Amino acid sequence: MPLTAAEIYAGLVRATETRPSAEPSPSQSERWSPGASRFREDPFREKNETLDGVLSFIEPDDVVLDVGGGAGRYLPLALKCRRLVNVEPSAGMGAQFEAAVKDAKIANAEWLHSDWLGAQIEGEVCFTANVVYYIADIVPFVEKLTTAARRRVMVIMHSIPPTNIGANLHRLVYGREPALAPSHRELLPVLWDMGLLPDVRVLGPSDFIVERARFAGREEAIQSALPAQLETSQLEFARENVERHFDEIFMESDGRYRRRPAPSRVLLITWETKTPAK
Ligand SMILES: C[S@@+](CC[C@H](N)C(=O)[O-])C[C@H]1O[C@@H](n2cnc3c(N)ncnc32)[C@H](O)[C@@H]1O
């Protein structure tokens, strides 16, 4: 029997959990808490194609659930809706979110410390950005998004998932192909099998942590590419490879170095749920 779309999806997620670069950890909290501050972004930042696209679906009276909202990169939603609830299992991410809310003096945003499947909450809109790549059991996760949303579900994925951006580097460091996280290509068949017919909007260029990082010099850039947990012989192999292929991975930008940008775009996958009462 051929695998279902959901089984294919689960297989991809599980493979990424066991790849050498994945941080092995038993819980979402431990997995995401280190480095959670990197996920913060100014809620009052200038609007761009991505924020405009997302905000166009939000209405002033909406309660918006930001599922796995992390440190609040999508806090600008709170500036357009009645209430925003970040349903987030990671304690580190939640703490960063609360700090971001306090610093920005945003009064209508709060953190609900919970995994999505365990959360007892509903809203007009269920929004989730850069989370579904990590959800092996995707069908119940999506079912709950649909039942908890009184009007609309919005799923943000990047056309190249952030964890796949480093695939070329992974080959150089480990000398083998990385397991690739699922993208929209794998999620959409799951949604179609569930009887959903979402709209897919291509928004702005992806601008996430890896894309934004800048390094003062070549050595700092090389160090950023070498995982801390490598053994000495592996480290020598990796370093030699990264140095040899430096110009394929990095480029100069304003006197500093950055990763060469991948042609990744932000995708908004969205569908309506129940017809709102008149
Ligand atoms: C890559 S971060 C994205 C954070 C934020 N949405 C953003 O775009 O910056 C993935 C987030 O998903 C959260 N997450 C993972 N599994 C989850 C689940 N089952 N329920 C809710 N959140 C989850 C993690 O704790 C983490 O904060």
Asked, for residue 169, whether it belongs to a domain, the answer is no
Could you tell me how far CA 47 lies from the centroid of its own chain? 19
| Rounded-to-10 torsion of CA 203, 164, 196, 189 | 130
Is position 170 within any domain? no
Range of the domain at 245: 209-260
Residue with the nearest Cα to atom 10 of ligand 1? 131
Residues 88, 61 share a domain:
yes
Domain co-membership, 82 together with 219 = no
* 278 assigned to some structural domain: no
Nearest CA to ligand 1 atom 25: 90
Mutation choice for ligand 1 from 13, 16, 23, 28, CB with most ligand atoms inside 8 A: 28
Distance between Cα 55 and ligand 1 center (Å): 20
Ligand 1 atom, smallest distance to 156 CA: 8
Q: Distance (Å, rounded) from C-alpha 180 to C-alpha 14?
A: 10
Residue 247 lies in a domain: yes
Question: How far apart are the CA of 132 and the centre of ligand 1, in A?
Answer: 8
What pLDDT score was predicted for residue 26?
58
This prediction has a pTM of 0.91
127 and 151 part of one domain: yes
Q: Both 199 and 238 in a single domain?
A: no
Q: Look at residue 171 and tell me if it is in a domain.
A: no
244 and 123 fall within a common domain: no
- How remote is the CA of residue 176 from the centroid of ligand 1, in Å? 28
From residue 172, give the alpha-carbon distance in Å to each of 17, 82, 130, 245.
20, 48, 25, 8
Together in a domain, 100 and 131: yes
Backbone angles phi, psi at 22, to 5 degrees: -70, 140
Number of domains in the chain: 2
Is 168 inside any structural domain? no
Sheet holding 123-129, edge to edge: 109-112, 83-87, 63-67, 123-129, 149-158, 265-272, 199-205
**150 in the same domain as 66:** yes
In a shared domain, residues 243 and 267: no
In a domain? residue 165: no
Ligand 1 pocket, CB under 6 A: 28, 32, 39, 67-70, 73, 87-90, 93, 115-116, 129-131, 134
153 and 233, same domain (yes or no): no
Q: How far is the CA of 39 from the centre of ligand 1 (A)?
A: 10
The CATH number of the domain where 31 resides is what? 3.40.50.150
Pairing of strands 63-67, 109-112: unpaired
Task: Please check whether residue 48 lies inside any domain of the structure.
Answer: yes
- Which pLDDT value is given to residue 56? 97
In the chain, the N- to C-terminal Cα span, in Å, equals 46
Claim to verify: residue 138 and residue 245 sit in the same structural domain: no
pLDDT on residue 28? 66
Closest residue CA from atom 22 of ligand 1? 68
Q: Is the dihedral of CA 206, 126, 180, 241 positive or negative?
A: positive
- Choosing from 131, 133, 155, 268 the residue with most ligand 1 atoms within 8 A of its CB, the one to mutate for a pocket test is 131
- The tens-digit pLDDT sequence of the chain (278 residues) is 899 999 999 999 999 987 565 555 557 667 888 888 888 899 999 989 999 999 999 999 999 999 999 999 999 999 999 999 999 999 999 999 999 999 999 999 999 999 999 999 999 999 999 999 999 999 999 999 999 999 999 999 999 998 898 888 888 888 888 899 999 999 999 999 999 999 999 999 988 777 788 999 999 999 888 888 788 888 888 899 999 999 999 999 888 999 888 889 999 999 999 754 54
Contact 172, 245 (CB under 8 A): yes
Taking alpha carbons only, the member of 105, 101, 64, 59 closest to residue 80 is: 59
Please state the three-class secondary structure of the chain as a single string: CCCCHHHHHHHHHHHHHCCCCCCCCCCHHHHHCCCHHHHCCCCCCCCCHHHHHHHCCCCCCCEEEEECCCCCCCHHHHHCCCEEEEECCCHHHHHHHHHHHHHCCCCCEEEECCCHHHCCCCEEEEEEECCHHHCCCHHHHHHHHHHHEEEEEEEEEECCCHHHCCHHHHHHHHCCCCCCCCCHHHHHHHHHHCCCCCEEEEEEECCCHHHHCCECCHHHHHHHHCCCCCCHHHHHHHHHHHHHCHHHHEEEECCEEEECCCCCEEEEEEEECCCCCC
Q: What is the pLDDT of residue 213?
A: 85
Q: Which of 23, 32, 117 to mutate to test the pocket of ligand 1 (most atoms within 8 A of CB)?
A: 32
Distance 191 CA to ligand 1 centre (A): 20
Residues making up the chain, counted from first to last: 278
Residue with tokens 């610093």: 103
Ligand 1 centroid to residue 198 C-alpha, Å: 21
> Domain check: are 199 and 245 in the same one?
no
